[in-house]
Amino acid sequence: MRLILLRHGETEWNKSFRLQGHANSSLSERGIAQVKAIKPILAQFKPQIIVASDLGRVRQTAKIVGYKNAHFDAHLRELNMGDWTGKSKIDLLKEQPEYYKAWRAGEFTPDNGESWQDFCLRIKTTLLSYIKKYPNQDILAIVHSGVIRVFAMFSLVLRQINYYLSPQRHLQYLM
C-alpha cells in the first residue's frame, strides 16, 4: 500500500501570494504546465484509488492528470482561512506581522477560520479512513500544500510510534 500525495498546480492567487483556503483560483499557465509534466510520472504508479479535495483548483488538476472521476471529498480541503481568504501574505506581514507569524505557527486563527488543531484532526482522520478502507491498494490523494504538511507531520509521529509498537497496532493506537 502506498499513499501518494500530489499538490494542485500553481494558481493565479499563488502567483500573487494571496491566501486561498476554501476559495478558488484557476491554475496559472505555469500550474497547468506543472500538472502536465507530472502526468507521466503518476501513470507509472498506477494508483487504484483516487481521492481529491473538492475545490476547483484540485478538480482542474485531477482532470489534467486523467482522474476527472476521482472521489472528491470536502474533508480534504485546504485550511479554511476565514476572513483572511483572498488577502495578500505580503500585506498581512506588513499590517499584522504578529498575527501572521502566530498563524503560521498554528497559534492564531483568523475570524471565521479553522484552527490549525481542527485542520490537523480533519486531515489525519480523513487520510486514515482511506488507508483503513483500502489497506492493500495504492491511493493517490490530489490535495493542497497544507494537507501535505499535516500528513508529513503526522507521518513523523507515526514513525516514532511504529518504533515502540508493533505494526499491527499502530493505526489502532492512533484512532
Among the options 8, 10, 114, 144, which is catalytic?
8
78 is a catalytic site residue: yes
Locus of grid cell 507521466:
40
Number of continuous H segments (helices) and E segments (strands) in the chain:
8, 4
Among the options 10, 78, 114, 144, which is catalytic?
78
Q: Which of 26, 19, 25, 143 is nearest to 83 (CA)?
A: 19
Distance CA 132, CA 110 (A): 33
3-state secondary structure of 26: coil
Phi, psi of 7 (to 5 degrees): -85, 145
Active site residues: 8, 78
